[in-house]
Amino acid sequence: MEDLNFIPSDREVRLEPNQSLIFKFSNEYKLEYVNDFFTDFTGYEIHDVIGEGVEGMKHSDIPKLISSMLYESVENKKNINIILKNTTKDGRFYWFLTDFQYEIDEENKLLSFKYYRRFPSKSAIPTLEKLYKKLLDIENHASIEVAEKYLYGFLEEKNMSFSEYTAFLSKGEDFKSMVQKVETSQNLPAGKAGKKSWFRK
């Protein structure tokens, strides 16, 4: 298929509360599986992304700092629940809440991980949009390091992690119960957490 002149549009597609995009990655961060809904929702074909990453779907409104926070969490095998924006194949955008689950062997080595993109609380988005704009402006006028210090001071003032701040803005029951579920599963012995929550889905 021909590559159309890709211009992100300001049109939004919305994830519904019962919908999630599911990505499964190998320990080398290669995409091994995506659910069918991903295809329905984003317009990408499964073969467009399998074996690759999800880099190409990034939205230019998301500061580099925020993307790097996500990678850092994955590298540390930590869950992170933040709200991000991404593009569909035809250039529209959607907001989603990130959620990670790791499968780890007895020696704490990563076997694989799942990346869920879930329904985000609408109430959190306007505030996050403003924050992302500020961070992006700081990145462009100063540097990522300066933006990182700003975000650090911002969260420090609120005494929250970014996940906690996102939850605080969301105030949604769905989000709370979802995060609690994940936290419970993370407390299980290594190696079982991933599997247990896999069956629960």
Partner 1 sequence: MHPIDNEHLPTDVKQRIEEILAKHKITTDSIVNNPITNNFIDAKPSQSTTSSFVGKEIKLDPSKTIMSKTDKKGIIEYANEYFMETSGYEEYELMGQPHNIIRHPDMPKVIFKELWTRLNKGENIHALVKNLTKNGNYYWVLTSFETKYNEDGEIISHYARRKAAPGNAVYQVEKLYKTLLAIEKTQSVAVSERYFVGLLEEKGMNYDEFILDILGIDQNSIASYFINENDKTSTPKRRGVFGRLFSN
Binding site for partner 1 (CB under 8 A): 69, 72-73, 76, 78-81, 134, 137-138, 140-143, 146-147, 149-159, 161-164, 179, 183
Nearer to partner 1, 12 or 145 (CB): 145
Measured between alpha carbons, how far is residue 45 from residues 37, 105, 200 in Å?
Answer: 11, 32, 26
Nearest approach, Cβ of 128 to partner 1 (angstroms)?
15
Nearer to partner 1, 46 or 142 (CB): 142
Closest CA to 52 of 85, 86, 84, 29: 29
Look up residue 19 and give its amino acid: Q
Nearer to partner 1, 49 or 131 (CB): 131
Nearest approach, Cβ of 193 to partner 1 (angstroms)?
14
Q: How far apart are CA 131 and CA 129, in angstroms?
A: 5
Closest CA to 154 of 131, 126, 122: 131
- Yes or no: say if 65 and 81 are a contact pair by the CB < 8 Å rule: no
Q: If you ran DSSP here, which 8-state letter would residue 58 be given?
A: B
Nearer to partner 1, 18 or 159 (CB): 159
Nearest approach, Cβ of 26 to partner 1 (angstroms)?
22
Nearer to partner 1, 49 or 82 (CB): 82
Nearest approach, Cβ of 90 to partner 1 (angstroms)?
32
Nearest approach, Cβ of 150 to partner 1 (angstroms)?
5
Q: How far apart are CA 193 and CA 104, in angstroms?
A: 8
